[in-house]
Amino acid sequence: MTKTPLYQQPITQIYQTLATTEQGLSPDVAAQRLAQNGKNALNQQKKTTLIQRFLGQFKDLMIIVLLVAALIAGLTGEMVDAVIILLVVILNAVFGVFQEAKAEEAINALKEMSAPNATIRRNGEVLTVKSDELVVGDVVLLEAGDVVPADLRLVDVAGLKVEESALTGESVPVEKTSATLTQDNLGLGDRTNLAFMNSNVTYGRATGVVIATGMQTEVGRIAGMLEAADETTTPLQLNLMQLGKALTVLILIIAAVVFGLGLWRGTESVIDMLLTAISLAVAAIPEGLPAIVTITLALGTQRMAKRHALVRKLPAVETLGSTDVIASDKTGTLTQNKMTVEKVYQNGHLMEAADQPVTADDPLARVMILSNDTQQMADGLAGDPTETALVQYQLDREFPVDQTLKALPRVAEIPFDSERKLMTTAHPLNDGRFLVAVKGAPDELLKRVTQVDLDGTVSAFTTAQRQDVLAVNHELATQAIRVLGFAYRIVDQLPTKLTTENTEQELVFAGLVGMIDPERPEVAQAVAEAQAAGIRPVMITGDHRDTAAAITARLGIIQPGETQAVLTGAELDAMDDATFQKRVGDYAVYARVAPEHKVRIVNAWQKRGKVVAMTGDGVNDAPALKAADIGIGMGITGTEVAKGASDMVLADDNFATIVVAVEEGRKVFANIQKAIQYLLSANLGEVLTLFMMTMLGWQILAPVHILWINLVTDTLPAIALGIEPLERNLMNRPPRGRRSNFFSGGVLNGILYQGFLEGALTLGVYWFAITYPVHAASDLAHADALTMAFATLGLIQLFHAFNSKSIHGSIFKVGLWRNTFFNWAIAIAFGLLAMTILIPGLNGMFHVTHLDLYQWAVVVLAGILMVVIVEIVKFFQRRVVK
């Protein structure tokens, strides 16, 4: 088969290339091709079972560490702790399965968009067949309302317009032609003699020959890209994996060192040292961390849902907080996907649409309504978006649309066609004459204009007036505003058959109308907020270069006239990946792009270490949505394909909601980071306490002590930190980026010095109780000292939870009492800790004694010192940062 693209081949050659004729294939040939090439259908996505999804949740290293911890706890007889750890693991797995249940539905949604039936011609006979039975070479008949059943080369066109924004990003239906195109390397949106599978015919009719079916179509290529795309690992998942690996190595080293040193000293038995090593391992594992992360993310999804951002995968909540680049589709995302009248040129003046005066006999308004195929339905206007925009404009101005249509019914017409670019209708007047209403491309219309209507007075159309109209047309076109011209003519009688020669001549110019798919009103502010947060907005569209540049300038993404920041798909094709990766930061606008271009753009930013969010609503956006770190689909205008490939869906299609979601994502990460600092510093304090007591030969805390402290202090307070309110100025900080982790921003240093401080204070209290005992008896003194160390280690962690409400900020400015759940968590945790000492019977189970007020005062003082010392350190840290 020839390598010449089919859009460049003449119609006669098309039939030869595809081995078919104008009469279509014979049934035998069609059956043979169907058997050879398969059905005209997309591959179904392979589904994973519920069990497979559930088991997949246990691949995470941290989960494996927790399962080992549960086993260790069970072997030491601590069945309650083992059960709690297992419940935490199962809860985490259930949440993961629930959130990802619909993650692989995108390709199946593509299939559901396909036309169920197609009208074709075989052996000269017109038939209706199932669309999945179409084969290459079939001749397909299209008319308004049809879904294009396969990729077609159009061979006969009558005013055909096809809405293909979901595939190409075009904001208005595309006028199609059967003419052979001569340009090389045309993008999808410029291949105007092709019709693509799953696009919608909005106007006219046509005949086309099938050139591709199933996975070979343009939609099929997108389905293939979705199949081949790997699931991206979010920054949160990477951080948790890194943390899990680090903790695993640390736990093994600590347990081995303590076990070996204990045996070397010879003061403890092998069993006792094994239990001590196990206690250290359990102390080092933040067993509550996965539950805290899961609960924090789940609560974040609930808050985001209330603000119209629906999260499909839990880690996506946090990913938004680390986003560096938001690559957004234009049509339906930054713009309203609704043509709107914006400028009007009438009576020699260019004005804003809202400023045009309303008069019942306005000739421009009448032509806009009459030369128009819009239908008024019960649920709104139906028809071509450009024409419905004209009628809606008049309805909004309270122009008498219905009365005008009733008074001036259409009796004849010359339909629009892409060659003359005009549409004409004829309407009877009360005096027996006829009004001829004409609209179309200004340059074609002006060739037929001889007069002009100025405030109701008709006069000759001068050369100066013509030049003025052309200048206005050019000015609006440079602003990416689509311009239509309007004219009329009053004749005594109509020809038997209306033609352009006998009707569209000697016209009276009525005016120009400029239309655009306008930006959403809230987007400019959202773009400014994103830029203030250090996030780079980038627009990617299938629309034309000038349109893309104009919209982004209006939104503040680029400056007016900043054309060097705009790159077309053809220019991108001319760059290799290495060059583009180096220069990707130079471009903020991509125009006339194909689906694979969008993926290249996302990948180029990712290779530069950036976290990329991609927004979109069309089929053409789906591969990039899946490739991005977080794909954001549109809930109202978005296709099911785009939603299925997304991690998050905007229920209100509001770009500003993304900024809200970024804020929530930053808060989620900050709160998880606080919980991690709190948990790991507490666990480090426990490990150092046990390690030093073992090395010093002191009576050490038993496994039951460590397990109870972990259960009490690692759960409720850490969860409460996960729902802390948003800190001030969080959205004024730059994105943390892909390379940062939970230990960035001074967190690791905080964990180390705070852990050492907790251990030192606990050991100090133990030493003080041994040195200055309340009881003279040695065994009672040691029992009291151990009890005070147990109480101190637990209470210090609860006091330290207040420090952890902010990594660097003072707790007095963050607010001690803003988080009601936190206050209750601390109170309950303290109660659980204190009752093991205060309640008779329980203290025997935990091998602790009663403490008097003096001893409690020493324990509380140690807790207060923890707060004071950490606050002093944070004060000097803030001074250094400044």
Q: How far is CA 287 from CA 89, 741, 825, in A?
A: 9, 19, 18
Can you tell me the distance from the alpha carbon of 387 to that of 394, in angstroms, rounded to the nearest whole number? 11
Identify the H or E element spanning 356. Answer: none
* CB neighbours of residue 402 within 10 Å: 11
pLDDT tens readout for residues 488-537: 999 999 998 899 999 999 999 999 999 998 888 888 998 998 998 899 99
Backbone angles phi, psi at 765, to 5 degrees: -65, -40
Can you tell me the distance from the alpha carbon of 554 to that of 551, in angstroms, rounded to the nearest whole number? 5
At residue 102 the predicted structure's pLDDT band, cuts being 50, 70 and 90, is very low
**One-letter identity of residue 530:** A
At 1 the pLDDT is 41
At 864 the pLDDT is 94
Q: How far is CA 723 from CA 81, 662, 668, 803, 814, in A?
A: 25, 16, 8, 15, 14
Block residue for tokens 């009007």: 344
Residue 765 has pLDDT above 90, yes or no: yes
At 801 the pLDDT is 92
The one catalytic residue among 132, 324, 329, 362: 329
Q: How far is CA 618 from CA 190, 334, 365, in A?
A: 18, 13, 34
Can you tell me the distance from the alpha carbon of 147 to that of 824, in angstroms, rounded to the nearest whole number? 59
SS in 3 state form for 566-601? EEEHHHHHCCCHHHHHHHHHHCCEEECCCHHHHHHH
At residue 588 the predicted structure's pLDDT band, cuts being 50, 70 and 90, is very high
Block residue for tokens 């968590």: 825
* CB neighbours of residue 525 within 10 Å: 14
Sequence-distant (≥ 6) Cβ neighbours of residue 695 within 8 angstroms: 261
Report whether 649 contacts 310 (CB < 8 A).
yes
At 427 the pLDDT is 96
Q: What is the mean pLDDT of residues 8-23?
A: 90
pLDDT tens readout for residues 277-333: 766 666 666 766 766 777 777 777 778 888 888 877 767 777 788 889 999 888 777
Can you tell me the distance from the alpha carbon of 614 to that of 595, in angstroms, rounded to the nearest whole number? 13
Report whether 4 contacts 97 (CB < 8 A).
no
Kindly write down the DSSP assignment for every residue of 226-294, as one continuous string.
HHHPPPPPPHHHHHHHHHHHHHHHHHHHHHHHHHHHHHHHTSS-HHHHHHHHHHHHHHH--TTHHHHHH
* CB neighbours of residue 203 within 10 Å: 22
Identify the H or E element spanning 206. Answer: strand 200-212
Q: Which residues of 635-654 are buried (b: 16+ CB within 10 A; e: fewer)?
A: bebbbbbbbbbbbbbbeebb
**Sign (positive or negative) of CA dihedral 341, 345, 350, 351:** negative
Identify the H or E element spanning 130. Answer: strand 125-130
pLDDT tens readout for residues 112-168: 444 467 889 998 888 888 888 899 999 999 987 788 889 999 999 888 888 887 677
Identify the H or E element spanning 486. Answer: strand 482-491
Residue 103 DSSP SS3? coil
pLDDT tens readout for residues 645-681: 788 888 877 778 888 888 888 888 888 888 888 988 8
Can you tell me the distance from the alpha carbon of 65 to that of 244, in angstroms, rounded to the nearest whole number? 7
More confident residue, 729 or 123: 123
Can you tell me the distance from the alpha carbon of 479 to that of 550, in angstroms, rounded to the nearest whole number? 6
Give the dihedral of Cα atoms 249, 254, 259, 263; nearest 10 deg: 130
**One-letter identity of residue 353:** A
**One-letter identity of residue 520:** R
Under DSSP, the state recorded for 199 is -
Instruction: Extract the tokens encoding 759.
Output: 């251990």
Residue 49 has pLDDT above 70, yes or no: no
At 720 the pLDDT is 87
- Is the pTM of the predicted complex or chain greater than 0.75? no
Residue 101 has pLDDT above 70, yes or no: no
Domains of the chain: 6-37+109-228 (2.70.150.10), 341-516 (3.40.1110.10)
At 275 the pLDDT is 64
Cα angle 231, 234, 238 (rounded to 5 degrees) comes to: 110
Give the dihedral of Cα atoms 667, 668, 671, 675; nearest 10 deg: -170
At residue 407 the predicted structure's pLDDT band, cuts being 50, 70 and 90, is very high
At residue 237 the predicted structure's pLDDT band, cuts being 50, 70 and 90, is low
Sequence-distant (≥ 6) Cβ neighbours of residue 59 within 8 angstroms: none
Instruction: Extract the tokens encoding 70.
Output: 């549960």
Pairing of strands 536-540, 325-329: parallel
Catalytic site includes residue 190: no
Residue 274 has pLDDT above 80, yes or no: no
Pairing of strands 536-540, 589-591: parallel
Report whether 24 contacts 139 (CB < 8 A).
yes
Report whether 85 contacts 91 (CB < 8 A).
no
